[in-house]
Structure 1
């Protein structure tokens, strides 16, 4: 049984991603972005160990970013745009060898960014699917269209097998702690577009600075 602070609530994720976007979607506040991710980690953890191959890595990445925010150059990490500009101008990002700076903010956010695409696609598929849709199929389709492209074969294989253990669609909706199926679908319809807008801005900013393939 999850303790109250670990309980997932879809509304919290919605509010976090909604609060992310500033300046007419021209920047993202990293504190709210990380809060949104904390909510997504609770969502994954509430389903057991199935998503641990992503959630454990996400927790690590969130911690790295929070340390940057609390650090001596914390003001440089307030927004995604300021972080990218600061790290590029300070030569904290190596586009060819990540071992020179494995925990740069740009590289860390990129890993979360890729995983966000998967969860965004999966939640949208859950929202638009029929009551008897197989969640394992929906999740695998979302994974194959996103995160699988960045995982080695063994992780892809492990993930695909794990998806078979996913609960039914109505169980997912119970975990979201919103209310009836109709209310969950309505809130997903509001939340997923905000996550999409955050993803799209990040994708565009990283593409502009050639950061999408950071090793």
Structure 2
């Protein structure tokens, strides 16, 4: 009987420890006293600001809403929208430099949500940096000692756009369809999937309440988006780790502050403008990758 009792005790202690960990992570987003500029290392950092009034377009108007700069925070929704639109300058392509600049803003958005979201943002940041590194390397090789006309290697040449990068890497035999390689195409595919996750999450934030008047929490929305966009490509261990991230996400009000609005009504046109731009970029990238059978690169 003694071994059995000890086993039960160990199980209870293990369950208690897991519960305490989950409660600790969840509590990190609870208000901690008065208003502060920035939280601790485990908390989001968002300075409160005096907001410029948001221009909400009339029903049926095609003009996007005026998105003001938000003093005191690194993520700027207006800049994100501008970069996304700039990447679609060509009708059948996506320009890489503004595409990566869009990711710079999306990374700031993710990092504003706290250290726990680093589970996603760290890998995304590595992929953005890798595409820039590969672009510069290719540009240096193409121009030799003269050096590239631009420091990024993204304004002209093979890596100017998604389509030109795909075609150049296929021509050079850089892409491997049977094993993992650090090609720009494979890296872009991973960013492409993450872009879908963010788009789906923002779509949920733009939605109204359900029949009972309840808004879905950001954690619920992120989990649902993750199951569609990223979970099918992640092993079991990563899927379980992602659950902790969803528990640690802040409430809806915090997300609204990030896009510089004070209410769900003000947020809707801003979120729709960003979502539409994300959808266009995602669709165009999807089309290019699909044309070359690159949607399942290992």
TM-score, with length taken from structure 1? 0.91
- Could you list the per-position Cα deviations for residues 115-143 of structure 1 after superposition, in whole angstroms to 9, with x for gaps in the alignment? 00000000111111436322211111111
Matching residue of 2:13: none
Question: Highest Rg: 1 or 2?
Answer: 2
Runs of 4 or more off by more than 6 Å in structure 1?
Answer: 3-6
Corresponding residue pairs, total: 210
Tell me, in whole angstroms, the C-alpha distance in 1 between the residues paired with 2:72 and 2:118: 19
* 2:282 aligned residue (187, 190, 199): 199
- Over the aligned positions, Cα root-mean-square deviation in angstroms equals 1.8
Is 2:99 aligned against 1:33? yes
* Distance of 2:236 and 2:72 partners within structure 1: 35
1:92 aligned partner:
174
Change (3 A) 1:205 1:169: same
Give the alignment partner of residue 82 of structure 1, picking from 164, 171, 185. 164
1:12 aligns with 2:79: yes
Q: Quick check: 2:119–2:245 contact (8 Å CA) kept in 1?
A: no
Q: Any residues of structure 2 matched to 1:152-171 within 5 Å, and which?
A: 152-171=235-254
How much does 1:148 deviate? 0.8
Query: 2:177 is paired with a residue of what secondary structure?
Result: coil
User: Whole-Å Cα distance in 1 between the matches of residues 255 and 233 of structure 2?
Assistant: 26
- Give the structure 2 partner of residue 116 of structure 1: 195
In structure 2, C-alpha distance between the alignment counterparts of 1:68 and 1:183, rounded to whole Å: 40
**Which residue pairs with 2:19 in the alignment?**
none
Any idea what the Cα deviations from partners look like across 1:39-69, whole Å, max 9, x if unmatched?
1111111010232121001111111111233
Shift of 1:6: 6.4
Flag structure 1 segments of 5+ consecutive residues without an equivalent: none
User: Which structure would you say has the larger RCO, counting Cα contacts within 8 Å and 6 or more residues apart?
Assistant: 1
- Paired residue for 2:126? 60
Gaps of 5+ in 2: 1-37, 39-44, 47-70, 143-152
Supply the distance in 2 between the matched residues of 1:132 and 1:112 (Cα, whole angstroms).
28
Q: Distance in 1 between matches of 2:186 and 2:164?
A: 15
For 1:134 and 1:44, the matched residues in 2 are separated by 16
Cα contact 2:189–2:295 (8 A) shared by 1: yes
Aligned pairs for 1:171-182 (under 5 A) are: 171-176=254-259, 178-181=260-263, 182=265
Shift of 1:186: 1.2
Q: TM-score, normalised by structure 2?
A: 0.67
SS in 1 for 2:248: coil
